[in-house]
Amino acid sequence: MPTTLLLGASRGIGLELARQAVAAGERVIATARSDDGLATLRELGCQVLKLDVANPASVSGLAWQLDGEKIDTGWHVAGVMCSRADATQPPTQQDFDRVMHANVLGAMQVIPQVAPLVEAAQGRFAFLSSVMGQIGSAAGSNAWLYRVSKAALNMAVASARHAYPQATFVCLHPGWAQTDMGGGAAPVAVPDSAAGLRRVVAALTPADNGAFLQYDGQRFSSC
């Protein structure tokens, strides 16, 4: 039975990834910040861990909680949106710290703890990013703090893959999905996004290490 680790699975795409993984017969370890989120995941059949990726003290204990595990597929889903202000408005320090801690620092603290477990299984480590973080295709400055955070996440993943050559690291764009972040008018239903992401990750080979892929399989030039 393959082991799947989902970091940030209490809602939206993370929760749907957990639901589909359990339905597919995978052993799922899933994290959430809140007791309610943990209860929801437990009801799905997941093994649960309490984790707040934006809190270094919370993340610091992850490795010992996963001691002895081999992770076939790791998912880093956790992330937050900013105020959606554009580049005519400077971000407040409070908003900057909130977004960068959740979207960048959390991943950079998780990787050294989880990547060795993925590498032990010669597995795949997938990070939910956004096409909004791709520098070469930037079409505007709306939500520029979020854009910057996802660009930084992409660089963290592109860099980290070199330290763990037996694992396959990828960044993924889930599409404009109908999550709390994407809104109800988004064109991609959450189950469709999650199912597409799972298909993309299941088809990865070592040659895909460092790739930036969309949920429908579209390949971007780089992270």
Range of the domain at 120: 3-214
**Residue 223: per-residue pLDDT:** 58
For residue 46, what are the contacts with CB-CB under 8 A and spacing of at least 6? 6, 9, 18, 22, 28, 29, 30
Give the 3-state secondary structure of residue 26.
coil
**Residue 217: per-residue pLDDT:** 86
Whether 204 is covered by a domain: the verdict is yes
Number of domains in the chain: 1
- Read off the CATH number of the domain in which 185 is found: 3.40.50.720
| 216 within 8 A of 196, measured Cβ to Cβ | yes
**Residue 167: per-residue pLDDT:** 98
Whether 178 is covered by a domain: the verdict is yes
Which of 173, 167, 174 is closest to 223 using CA atoms?
173
| 188 within 8 A of 178, measured Cβ to Cβ | yes
**Residue 86: per-residue pLDDT:** 73
**Residue 39: per-residue pLDDT:** 97
Determine phi and psi for 84, rounding to 5 degrees: 70, 10
Whether 220 is covered by a domain: the verdict is no
Whether 223 is covered by a domain: the verdict is no
Whether 71 is covered by a domain: the verdict is yes
Whether 127 is covered by a domain: the verdict is yes
**Residue 221: per-residue pLDDT:** 67
Give the 3-state secondary structure of residue 33.
coil
Q: How far apart are CA 146 and CA 214, in angstroms?
A: 18
* Residue 159 host element (H or E): helix 144-160
Whether 123 is covered by a domain: the verdict is yes
Whether 221 is covered by a domain: the verdict is no
Q: Which amino acid is at 204?
A: L
Low-confidence ranges of the chain (pLDDT < 50): none
**Residue 188: per-residue pLDDT:** 73
